[in-house]
Amino acid sequence: DVQLQASGGGLVQAGGSLRLSCAASGFTFDDYAIGWFRQAPGKEREGVSCISSNDGSTYYADSVKGRFTISSDNAKNTVYLQMNSLRPEDTAVYYCAADYMPVVLCYDYDYWGQGTLVTVSS
pLDDT value at position 101?
A: 84
Q: What are phi and psi of 80, to 5 degrees?
A: -120, 150
* Ranges assigned E (strand) in 26-108: 32-39, 46-52, 58-60, 68-73, 78-83, 92-100
Cβ–Cβ < 8 Å for 119, 12: yes
Amino acid at the residue 122: S
Mean pLDDT across 16-35? 92
Confidence tier at 104 by pLDDT (50, 70, 90): confident
Q: What is the pLDDT of residue 23?
A: 96
pLDDT of 112 strictly over 90: yes
* pLDDT score at 28: 82
- Nearest Cα neighbor of 97 from 32, 41, 44 is 32
Comparing CA positions, the residue from 49, 22, 12, 15 lying closest to residue 116 is 22
Mean pLDDT across the chain, nearest whole number? 94
pLDDT digits 0-9 by tens, 39-59: 999 999 999 999 998 888 999
Kindly state the percentage of the chain with pLDDT values over 70: 100
